[in-house]
Amino acid sequence: MSYYLAKTVTQDFDAVIQRVTVALKQEGFGVLTDIDVRATLKAKIGADMPSYRILGACNPTFAHQALQLENKLGVLLPCNVIVREQGPGQVEVAAVDPVASMGRVGNTRLTSVADEVRARLQRVIDSV
């Protein structure tokens, strides 16, 4: 089983960031963090790399439900969504697969929450 959901599109990188952010909002997620990996690695170690952003997405309702069932689950939150430049005009959008990550916890009560979050993240990726 893969640990992520992904899709590659032929679009402008910044436009994809905007589309993903809007799609996340439509699915009930807010973006808590936005890490510009490219800029960070350039500033910290002088490394050059293509555009790469990590969006830390959270749906408060599902986060609350999951934390009520498994109080250490915060180590897996928020749900990370990446947008990365693969090549000229090629941008990949990928999200953590919550079914895979929460499945490792071993708490079967999380299954329905993980399934719903996965469905929403898949719709986000499909919409780009």
Helix 60-69, helix 111-127: angle, nearest 10: 150
Q: What is the pLDDT of residues 11-52, one digit of tens each?
A: 999 999 999 999 999 999 999 999 999 999 999 999 999 999
Name the strand (E) or helix (H) holding 37.
helix 37-45
The burial of 61, by beta-carbon neighbours within 10 Å (0-12 exposed, 13-18 middle, 19 or more buried), is given as exposed
For the entire predicted model, the pTM comes to: 0.95
CA distance 15 to 20: 9
| pLDDT computed for residue 103 by the predictor | 93
Ordered by start, the domain boundaries in the chain are 4-127
- Average pLDDT, rounded, for the chain: 97
Q: Are 121 and 114 in contact (CB under 8 A)?
A: no
| pLDDT computed for residue 1 by the predictor | 62
Q: What is the pLDDT of residues 109-122, one digit of tens each?
A: 999 999 999 999 99
**CA 78 from centre of chain:** 8
Architecture of domain 4-127: 2-Layer Sandwich (3.30)
